[in-house]
Amino acid sequence: MPIIKTQNLTKIYKDHSVEVHALNGVSLEIEKGEFTAIVGPSGSGKTTLLNIIGGLDNPTEGQVTIGDVDISNLSDNQLIDFRLHNIGFVFQAYNLIPVLSAKENVEFIMLMQNRPKAEMDERAEALLKAVGLEDQMHKRPREMSGGQQQRVAVARALASKPKFVLADEPTANLDSKTALNLLDIMATLNKEEGITFIFSTHDQKVIDRARRIVTLEDGVIVSDVQQDV
């Protein structure tokens, strides 16, 4: 069974009474352990698709099934709880909490899950070590580089032990060397721990590392290919 299945997703936005079709009948399946890039020009529907898969936006038509749960049928509170326990997010803007340290930012989602303190401590430290930040645990975001903040965001996305991670343009604000380092970390987590990553990206570095490339144009899948990396 795929961990993600979308069926005939359509999304129509209203812009000053003009209808904008962001998605036009997108059907897609993602299996556990994939390292997949969703690509296409600006306005092709990449971010809209990720947001709907992640339950951050609702489709105009169609459904999203994660595991055996049709998230289209969940109430707002059920959806918040489902996201908390099943989906990790990495955004282009790091979205770290400025007054918290790196370790506290990673622990925050586990705090919302009511995990025991000892478990939060152990997992946060292990994840920050996995992304090469064991010496930055007690620094706040403003004391860290953009690349370090994005690595904290990756560690935070994994803290909840999600079924998969959605990464929307995660390298957009990073220089080439830092972006490649971050991609290496995510590729290692994918291969060694079987964590599923789905990217929305323009970045050729991400595309080159992905094992599956889904191309959107005008809200429609025009290509879906596997590649050896």
Nearest to 217 by CA among 75, 97, 48, 39: 39
Residue 25 belongs to what H/E stretch? strand 18-30
* pTM for the whole structure: 0.90
CB 70 within 8 A of CB 204: no
Put residue 187 in one of left, alpha, beta given phi > 0 → left and psi -120 to 50 → alpha: alpha
**What CATH number should be reported for the domain holding residue 107?**
3.40.50.300
pLDDT band at residue 131 using 50, 70 and 90 as cut-offs: confident
**Mean predicted confidence (pLDDT) in 197-217:** 94
Phi-psi region of 117 (alpha: psi -120 to 50; beta: other; left: phi over 0): alpha
Residue range 24-36: mean pLDDT, rounded:
96
Please report where in the chains the tokens 């990553």 appear, as a residue.
197
- Which two three-digit tokens encode residue 207? 């595309």
Given CA atoms 156, 157, 158, 161 in this order, what sign does their dihedral have?
positive
The partner residues of 4 in beta bridges, in order of sequence, read 30, 66
Closest by Cα among 226, 179, 225, 178 to 202: 179
Q: How far apart are CA 132 and CA 121, in angstroms?
A: 17
- 3, 196 in Cβ contact below 8 A? yes
Number of domains the chain contains: 1
CA distance 79 to 194: 25
- Note down the domain range covering 121: 4-226
Residue 210 sits at φ, ψ, to 5 deg, of -70, 145
71-102, pLDDT tens digit by residue? 988 999 999 999 999 999 998 787 899 999 99
